[in-house]
Structure 1
Amino acid sequence: MKKFFQSSYLAIIFLILYLPIAVLMVFSFNTGSSVRNIQGWGWSAYADLFSQTALWQSLSVTLLVAFISTFVAVIVGTFAALGLSRTSKLTRNMTLGITNIPLVNADIVTAVSLMLLFMAFAFNFGIVTLILAHISFNIPYVIITVMPKIKTINNEQLEASQDLGASSWYTLRKVVFPTLKPAIIAGAAIAFAMSFDDFIISYFTGGNSANLSTYIYSLKRIKPYINAFSTIIIIIIALIIISWNGYKVTKKQIHTRNERIMNETYRDKRIIKLEKNLNKNYLLLNKVKLSKRKSKKNILFRPISDAEEFYYINYYENLVNKNKNIVKKILSLEKKLNKEQVWVHQIKKRIITKKRISERHSRIRREKFRFLRWPWKLILVSFLVVGVFAGTLAFYIESNTYDLSVANWGEYISPEVLKGFEDEYDVKVKYTTYEDNETLYAKLATTDYDVMVPSDYMIAQLASEDRLLELDQSKLGDLELNTTLVEMMKNYKFSLTSGPEKGQEKDLSQYAIPYFWGDLVLVFNTVQNPNLLTELGVSDPTKVNWDILQTAVNQQKRIVLNNDMHNLFMLGLVTYHYQNQWDENTGTGAIKQEGNDFTDYVNAHSNKEIDDVAEWLKPIIHSPNTKIQSDEIVDTVAIPSNWDIAYMYNGDLLAAMSQDFANTNYTIARPYMGVNVWNDDMVISKRSKNQDLSYNFIKYILKHDVQIELSEEFGYTSPVQAVIDEVSQTHPGTNWENVYKPGATQIAPVDNSSKPAGYYNGLYRRGFDPYMQDQYNKLLARQGSNNITVLLIELAVVLIIIILFIVVMMWLR
């Protein structure tokens, strides 16, 4: 066992380090749409990778920012380190302490500070602010890398250079820079890697210029092509590292070999082996018997003297005639040995010739041609760097020259749709993604888009601030939208808080055209547990209410919830409104809403209602069996063994079902009390530079074939009625149609005569509510504190593993 650990513990460590990378590379060959479940093997992810325009745009931004910030940081950092080396110790220590603040400071603090600084100077957030931010945090890395190497410079060399009449620049170039070259290269590599990999600072300062990290973060659903891209990056980095190390090792070996050849001490393994075999055959020819141990020694023969030559000549002629096979072998070995010796001689001759040519060129440079004095190696490297930078810049310009700027949710449109629009109108679209409405709202403070796809409540907020264009319906024509959806949008009222029409009441349909819409569904995992409904006391799924979640908590069922604050608070609001918890509906309709009457919404009307709902949610959210997830809920629900009850968007459920229809035909329920029906809509910025093209983009997205492609790929419901009718029949024999059509029982309610007085079939309207957000954050914080026991157990396990590792290492010693 001890020998096993001694020989393999390093391999185990490398396995732990690189196993996640290996898993990622394996999943890059997954033909399915999930990043967790392998549905087949193939190259589809790699083929899909090259059609992702937004990904390549973000790569161009990443490379350009990394090159420029690294170049500037290396120059500034190197000369700053040189300057600090000449200052007093107190000044140097104080300056280094200030310089190192960005290194020890939290990235979030640095990011917010830079963002506020750029806002104070009214910078338009984009590629410029991104580059400036990266330069600011790259310079300290270069300084701390170069500074220790400066201390190794011999002052006597600097003084000797000055005594010989060298200028300061010549001394810097010929003495200082060669000494600092390894540190400068290391600092540049660190700066480039830090810039390429940065997320937090780029997120706060990038504006509409998204690098790779922010692009991947904003994706709604991570797809296998991200694994494929990561695999390619890993392979490129591995090849660069292996090639560079191979070059350094080979160069060192060649240098050592040349020195030994010139000193005539070179003994190649092939020459040593040939000499051993030759000596062995000489002994056989002379019939000298050696033991096995002696035969392995390198036996060298002295040359035959002149006095012995006549005596031995006849003797060896007889030996040759009697031992022809041995003689042939000797001749063959001598030929090979001679060939090796000729090769060594040629290498030596080549070294001498090269040295003479170098000396001649040096003399010519000094005497005749001044341009030959130039540092050609540095010039060639500079040309290479400039060439790479020029190529990156051209790639960036090509990727970021556009006619229309579109901001949308991550993974909400296919590259083929964007390419189709570009080809049809002969334009270039810059497509930017964001992960939530609040992020979009924050980005609009520093950047502009032409077309955006926010949610209903964010549209109301932006329109009320006079930041959206009121649409000209004549430019759009008859879009044949779902009438219920249009009615919902018309009944979403808000008042303008700024602009020339301040105080006027508007509705959502005046500013927005639907992109996707849907609702939330309650999913019962009857595939894994056919008796689940019976265990929960449910006889008819159409008569389920939201209290079923509390029943599931009491039975310790595994619950998965969508993490949106509005979706969770809606559960308690519709439940309490239905139960007339706050005496707001006595049956006479103090606040009227029944069925599809949109005169009011089941929102919170006071902080007390929010507090009561937070108490109602506590046992559900704080249950150790409850998971609150975002987009990863799709992959969770796609595996039946992971959960019992899920509360999620209907489109996310369809995405999970599409991975394996045979094993995901779950039981679906939409509680009759009410549900959150949402819609993400296309709007045009009031500061759009190309409004006509923006209208064309909206019309193109709503084309019949485009809507079918989008709806089938992403699972969300189309706003076009004809598409709804067609796509809902896509997968007969499954509950696809039931899930795909939003809130059928909520929007068009059944007979309510048997229902008690109060709210039912209520629709919740999302909106800004800071108090609700605060209560939601407290609920999540308590969820973490309730799981502190699990966390402590996990930390204890990790600590035990570390202690065992240390004990094993000591035992091995």
Structure 2
Amino acid sequence: MKRFFRSTYFAIILLVIYIPIFIMIMFSFNSGTSVSNWMGFSTKWYEEFFKNSPFIKSIITSLFVAVVSTVISVVIGTMAAIGLSRLIKRKQSKWMSIANIPLINADIITAVALMIIFLLSGIKFGIFTLIMAHVSFNVPYVLITVMPRLRKVDKSIVEASFDLGAKTGTVIFKVILPILKPAIIIATVIAFAMSFDDFIISYFTGGDQTNVASFIYSSKRIKPYIFAFATMMVAIIAAGVIIWNAVLFINERKETVKSQIKNGTYKSKNVYKLEKEINDLLISLETITKIKKSKRFSVWIKYYVLKLKLKHASSKNYDKKIAKLEWKRYKLQNTINREKRYVSRLKKAEAKQKQLKKQISKSADIKKAARLSIQLEKVEEKITFLAEEIAWLTEKENEAIQKAASINKKIKKLKKEFKAEENPSKNTINWYNKKIKYYEEWKIEVEEGKNNFKLRMIVEKLKDIKQLNENKINELAAKLDLVATQAFRKVSVTNKLNQKIANNPNNVNLKEKKIKRINKFEIGINKLIESKNVKISELKVKISKEKEKFFPTDIDEANFTKGFIARSWKVMLVSLLAIVSFSGLTVAYVMNNIYDLVIGNWGEYIDPSLIQEFEKEYGVRVNYQEYDSNETLYNKLYTFSYDLMVPSDYMVQKLANEGKLEALDYSKINVQSEKFKVNDKEIEINKDIETNDDTKTISGDLLNVMTASKVKYDEQSTHSLGTGTIVDYALPYLWGDLIIVVNPNSKGKDSGGANIQWLLETHPDLISKTVDGGKTYNPVATNESYDPSATYVLNNSALSWNILWEAAAAGKEVVLNEDSKNVFAIAGQKLYGEGNFTSQDRIDVASKELAALLKYKNVGLQGDSLISTASEGNFDFAVMYNGDAANANVVYNGEDGETDGDGGEIEEDLLTRAEREDKIYFLYGRPNAKLSNNASSDAVEQYETTNIYSDNLVMARDSSHKDAAYDFINFYIAHAQDISDYTGTPTGFKETMEAAVEPGSMYEKYKDIFEPIILHGEGYKGNLQPFFNNNVYDPKVVDAYNILRTNK
């Protein structure tokens, strides 16, 4: 039972480890974009993986860094281990403790420390800093792997090498390194694995280098092509493990063959079997008999059952049990022998004591006398210890004698009582016999001593185990032989003819038939014997070849006549393969790092195929990097310079104020704009330029919002627009607003409109409906029930951000966008009608308000995974960007079908759409309720609003590829529609926004949610603002948010 539970625990551990891997492999073949819902089998993500140029480049970077850092780490670590092994143990321990600090230290601390060192050293962040950082944390792994193996190296071998005249280098390469080879291989694998998937240290020290971990982390969300890559990695690792084990098996097999040849047992079983068969055939030939199998089914069942039992008994492994008992016997024997030597050791110690005392009394040298005194103290300590042990053993023996006498009295008493019993019953007899036997065994144990008794019992147990097993095997073998005689009976070849001849002795034909049959039988048997002799000859030839191979008769000719190539071809082949592979990897890495333009962008903000198209069209190479937040981008600028970036509005304002951005020359950019206001003056961008099919028009409403972000930097550029705002530096890339989304059905699990019903019961003023499919929505009545045939919408004018607090209190699943500014903007809008914070008091009040919301377990904070959550309907209330919400609703309704080569929908998407004929449209709204408790001293009425955000293309002031940067900006403008379709988010251009919601387009039915509120015309009150940069209070908002996240 113990073994069963132990195996069960092991199986559970294996399941915990490997089930996620199997699930990942399965979803790599998923036809849909979801990483949690199976949509059908497809290999398209493997195709996507090979098309994703930035991801492929990150893999090449990871491989190159891992290989180089591993080689350097293994060399340094192994040499350091050899050097440390020559130090005394105390110094060795100290140096090992220092070397292991990177293992104990948190990666984030190591990463920041390395970044500071590189900054202070003035080293440019890039491949050199990345490799050095990886070496710094890989060397300790090599040390702790190699050192244990090095400690097991027999020092006498090393000393013998030096005695034979070998130099230090020769000893290291010819003696020590071959012994350390297994440890070095393991250290290499560990170092490579640690380097390949490192993220934190690479993030802080990589500069312009993006490895696999950094790429995946900065992605907007996990896509199945990452699963495809991981599946290929698992396949490569599995293949490597199989090949490695196959090599080990072959080598082990060679050693086994060598050992068998040396012992003379190689193929001996095969030869013996063939010889036995020949012997049986010869007997058959002499007796003219053959083996006839029995037709009795019961005999064969008995035969095979006995055969299985014999096989099981023969293979039953008692070695473990026997080894355990042998170890116990060895320990007990040592204890007994040690106790026996106490008296002789005491006598020797006393003699040594006398000798030392005489030497001390005669010695005139003070130093010598002191040294002898120390020796005398040690001897006296030994005498005291031995005397105490002997006294304890003597006392124990006396106690044992007394105990034995007492037990003996009990035995006599029991025997006397037993004798006095008249006509005792069977139970009484058994009781007395067991009791007497128990006391007799106890008496023997006491008299012999516990250790001696245990030793004797163990020896007897060992003999019993071995004997029982042998007896069982012999018994089964005898039974099997007996049954075999019944199953395989020897009968005469001419048995039937003999009976006929006996009945008719004068029949000549029968006698001739008999002779022919015997001749035929003899010919057949002789052929069989001949074939088996041939097999024996072949086996002997094979044995001779193997013997010559492992133990050549002519040693000089076998080992010293081979040329250099014959002796070293394996090493040369492996070295050549390694050099070619590394050269190919180096060339690939160098080619990927020769670029004409460096772009930093958010994860999944552009289709990777567009980057390849741009490179092909303009003949340039792009280093495309991704980040996951504006703060990440800002931190990266300390270690790396981009040509183009896509920061959000407030980060554009910050960078522009710090003089890090180049004012855009709009005359080089293929855009115009609608009229927008700057300081109460209406202006347009590129009003008089010649337009073409690729020219786009920037929304005036968006530019009006952007002009609210003022820039104080004194721009000296002659081509600047001169608005004094971020419009001088930024071209809108994507934009939108923050909205509340309501799933009609509770967490998508019911179809009864539970969340709408809740709103009808608690906030009927928030809901309007239409039942005729028209565009006129009417208010709902108080206590009105949910109508499945009606279409419901949220009323912005009555909607407040406070609905999130009420929904959370009601147990609804509430999910918030985890950006710190967005989270605090929710509380800021609820309390003050503003999303920007300009005082510590407001931040503190907002923190308390948010703590009251986040205390509920059903309230979650999610980043880009929020899109997947909404796409699967696993929420009740959500706060997200309008483009993400529209895209999630499209995916949820199965309307994101991909097309085949002819422009039609693929079969799986048609099925999905057919399954969802009744579409579920999320309710959405931008809160615009009047502030119920106006905290402002202004007399003007204030309203809750939302944030209008924009992510913008900007150019770095120190860019050295400005012409290529303008080419990319114009390429983006020409492909703005493709980018909008790929991201599911509006661009800043009027043409693409109109195309996204025109009849027949993907977002036709989602127009109001796709378009930001500022484009909806009049009716929305309050001041729509972007986030502004505030160097004083922005860090405090982040700190307050981090505290909330920690307490969540």
TM-score bin, normalised by smaller chain = 0.7 to 0.9
Q: Distance in 1 between matches of 2:27 and 2:1001?
A: 27
Q: Summarize deviations over 1:106-152 as a string: whole Å, max 9, x none.
A: 11111111111111101211111000001111111111211122222
Q: Summarize deviations over 1:8-46 as a string: whole Å, max 9, x none.
A: 554333222200100000000011112122222100110
Mapping of residues 556-595 of structure 1, within 5 Å: 556-578=811-833
Q: Which residue of 2 aligns with 1:416?
A: 609
Q: Are residues 1:740 and 2:1003 paired?
A: no
Mapping of residues 164-179 of structure 1, within 5 Å: 164-179=164-179
Higher mean C-alpha deviation, range 409-418 or range 542-551: 542-551
Q: Summarize deviations over 1:639-694 as a string: whole Å, max 9, x none.
A: 22x22111111222233223332455211212223111111111111111110110
Quick one: which amino acid aligns to residue 648 of structure 1? Answer: M
Q: Alpha-carbon deviation of 1:524?
A: 0.8
Q: 1:553 to 1:8 in 2, by over 3 A?
A: closer
Q: Are residues 1:698 and 2:969 paired?
A: yes
Quick one: which amino acid aligns to residue 547 of structure 1? Answer: N
Q: Is the 8 A contact 2:835 2:946 kept in 1?
A: no
Q: 1:713 to 1:563 in 2, by over 3 A?
A: same
**Structure 2 runs not aligned, ≥5 long:** 293-298, 304-479, 486-512, 672-695, 769-793, 894-915, 929-943
Q: Which residue of 1 aligns with 2:699?
A: 482
Mapping of residues 110-121 of structure 1, within 5 Å: 110-121=110-121
Higher mean C-alpha deviation, range 730-739 or range 14-23: 730-739
Q: Summarize deviations over 1:742-792 as a string: whole Å, max 9, x none.
A: 1247x733176xxxxxxx253242434564554555455456546xxxxxx
Q: Which residue of 2 aligns with 1:429?
A: 622
Q: Summarize deviations over 1:343-397 as a string: whole Å, max 9, x none.
A: 45235325515747984374347xxx7x679966544433333222212111111
Higher mean C-alpha deviation, range 100-109 or range 41-50: 100-109
Q: Is the 8 A contact 2:602 2:627 kept in 1?
A: yes
Q: 1:156 to 1:519 in 2, by over 3 A?
A: same
Q: Which residue of 1 aligns with 2:806?
A: 551
Q: 1:372 to 1:231 in 2, by over 3 A?
A: closer
Equivalent pairs, count:
730
Q: Distance in 2 between matches of 1:482 and 1:417?
A: 24
Q: Distance in 2 between matches of 1:632 and 1:12?
A: 29
Mapping of residues 163-242 of structure 1, within 5 Å: 163-242=163-242
Q: Distance in 1 between matches of 2:248 and 2:72?
A: 27
Q: Distance in 2 between matches of 1:297 and 1:188?
A: 58
Higher mean C-alpha deviation, range 461-470 or range 721-730: 721-730
Mapping of residues 208-607 of structure 1, within 5 Å: 208-261=208-261, 263-267=263-267, 286=287, 287=289, 293-294=480-481, 321-322=517-518, 328=524, 331-332=527-528, 335=531, 338-339=534-535, 341-349=537-545, 351-352=547-548, 355=552, 359-360=556-557, 362-364=559-561, 377-478=570-671, 479-496=696-713, 506-527=724-745, 528=748, 529-536=752-759, 537=763, 538-540=766-768, 541-542=794-795, 543=797, 544-578=799-833, 603-607=836-840
Higher mean C-alpha deviation, range 431-440 or range 12-21: 12-21
Higher mean C-alpha deviation, range 480-489 or range 10-19: 10-19
Q: Are residues 1:648 and 2:880 paired?
A: yes
Q: Alpha-carbon deviation of 1:727?
A: 1.0
Q: 1:361 to 1:66 in 2, by over 3 A?
A: farther
Quick one: which amino acid aligns to residue 1024 of structure 2? Answer: G
Q: Summarize deviations over 1:449-493 as a string: whole Å, max 9, x none.
A: 111111111111111111111111111133311221122223321
Q: 1:649 to 1:723 in 2, by over 3 A?
A: same
Q: Is the 8 A contact 1:665 1:734 kept in 2?
A: no
Q: Alpha-carbon deviation of 1:90?
A: 2.3
Quick one: which amino acid aligns to residue 690 of structure 1? Answer: H
Quick one: which amino acid aligns to residue 955 of structure 2? Answer: I
Quick one: which amino acid aligns to residue 886 of structure 2? Answer: L
From the CA coordinates, give the structure whose radius of gyration is larger. 2
Q: 1:188 to 1:246 in 2, by over 3 A?
A: same
Q: 1:657 to 1:236 in 2, by over 3 A?
A: same
Q: Is the 8 A contact 1:516 1:716 kept in 2?
A: yes
Q: 1:733 to 1:514 in 2, by over 3 A?
A: closer
Q: Distance in 1 between matches of 2:175 and 2:819?
A: 62
Q: 1:166 to 1:327 in 2, by over 3 A?
A: farther
Q: Distance in 1 between matches of 2:849 and 2:840?
A: 14
Query: TM-score of the superposition, structure 1-length normalised?
Result: 0.83
Q: Distance in 2 between matches of 1:216 and 1:733?
A: 29
Q: Higher relative contact order at CA 8 Å, sep ≥6: structure 1 or structure 2?
A: 1
**Structure 1 runs not aligned, ≥5 long:** 299-316, 579-600, 753-759, 787-813
Q: Is the 8 A contact 1:464 1:495 kept in 2?
A: yes
Q: 1:358 to 1:133 in 2, by over 3 A?
A: farther
Q: Distance in 1 between matches of 2:554 and 2:646?
A: 68
Quick one: which amino acid aligns to residue 514 of structure 1? Answer: P
Q: Distance in 1 between matches of 2:585 and 2:715?
A: 43
Q: Are residues 1:762 and 2:1024 paired?
A: yes
Q: Summarize deviations over 1:51-94 as a string: whole Å, max 9, x none.
A: 11111111111111111111111111111111111122222111
Mapping of residues 649-664 of structure 1, within 5 Å: 649-661=881-893, 662=916, 664=920
Q: Distance in 2 between matches of 1:667 and 1:95?
A: 65
Partner SS, residue 493 of structure 1: coil
Q: Which residue of 2 aligns with 1:84?
A: 84
Q: Is the 8 A contact 2:706 2:1026 kept in 1?
A: no
Q: Distance in 2 between matches of 1:565 and 1:80?
A: 47
Q: 1:101 to 1:643 in 2, by over 3 A?
A: same
Q: Alpha-carbon deviation of 1:275?
A: 5.6
RMSD across aligned C-alpha pairs, in angstroms?
3.2
Q: Distance in 2 between matches of 1:320 and 1:107?
A: 91
Q: Are residues 1:30 and 2:30 paired?
A: yes
Partner SS, residue 661 of structure 2: coil
**Percent identity over paired residues:** 36
Q: Distance in 1 between matches of 2:267 and 2:567?
A: 38
Q: Are residues 1:711 and 2:711 paired?
A: no
Q: 1:331 to 1:255 in 2, by over 3 A?
A: farther
Q: Which residue of 1 aligns with 2:54?
A: 54
Quick one: which amino acid aligns to residue 491 of structure 1? Answer: A
Q: Is the 8 A contact 2:653 2:1028 kept in 1?
A: no
Q: Alpha-carbon deviation of 1:638?
A: 1.8
Quick one: which amino acid aligns to residue 525 of structure 1? Answer: N
Q: 1:766 to 1:353 in 2, by over 3 A?
A: same
Q: Which residue of 2 aligns with 1:594?
A: none
Q: Distance in 2 between matches of 1:248 and 1:58?
A: 34
Q: Distance in 2 between matches of 1:251 and 1:320?
A: 55
Higher mean C-alpha deviation, range 777-786 or range 707-716: 777-786
Q: Distance in 2 between matches of 1:99 and 1:416?
A: 46
Query: TM-score of the superposition, structure 2-length normalised?
Result: 0.65
Q: 1:358 to 1:644 in 2, by over 3 A?
A: farther
Q: Summarize deviations over 1:144-170 as a string: whole Å, max 9, x none.
A: 211122222223322333333333322
Q: 1:678 to 1:154 in 2, by over 3 A?
A: same
Q: Is the 8 A contact 1:495 1:505 kept in 2?
A: no
Q: Is the 8 A contact 1:81 1:146 kept in 2?
A: yes
Q: Distance in 2 between matches of 1:708 and 1:5?
A: 61
Q: Distance in 2 between matches of 1:409 and 1:515?
A: 11
Q: 1:781 to 1:329 in 2, by over 3 A?
A: farther
Q: Is the 8 A contact 2:737 2:881 kept in 1?
A: yes
Q: Is the 8 A contact 1:72 1:135 kept in 2?
A: yes
Q: Is the 8 A contact 1:517 1:677 kept in 2?
A: yes
Quick one: which amino acid aligns to residue 699 of structure 2? Answer: N
Q: Alpha-carbon deviation of 1:294?
A: 2.3
